Structure 1
């Protein structure tokens, strides 16, 4: 039961990070202002590991369901993408931020990489 807590805590962290206004000024605080200095390209690339980790965190609580490895991987990907869509919608309400189809695509690639690693590690080894 505790395993399901981790993806929710991580989604809360992602929510807080995506709530940072895109136009934060120095008077808004050093932490908020520092995030606006990260180049957009790097911010986009950080979606790969961020959403890969979210998918990975979903794998453990889903492992208790009778879905099989592919079902578990698929469910983790779907849950991660559902959150990615929600987060992009949420960003449409944050000053200086906007939803991005590119971000959703990169989120999907990160999640796909994580579930791909999961499935690769689950395959029985073939011995010659």
Structure 2
């Protein structure tokens, strides 16, 4: 049976998954340490696949809360990594235009992912960084 969700509830479901990642017991790491339990947070379970989803969401929510990020504004950042993917993903859900400056030599996979989320890309000289 398929459950029909409104666009709003689907979007909120995606954002609700950010940070809602499991803890994994690292048994081998603590095997020689009696009484010690070490857990790792599996941030790769975030929707964007990275720990960077969490700070990106918090910055966007803080911008909204303070009135600095408004619907007509563009979220602009220089990135060559996972923060840009998180901005693009969250921007798509929240309805923001996202413009990212990234080095021209960024992987094609990364560029395709950003494009799929609707981010605008400004490619910069790879030797100068993003």
Which structure has the bigger radius of gyration?
2
Fold shared, TM-score > 0.5 on shorter chain: no
Q: Structure 2 length as normaliser, TM-score?
A: 0.31
Q: Which has the higher strand share?
A: 2
Higher relative contact order (CA 8 A, sep 6+): 1
Q: Which has the higher helix share?
A: 1
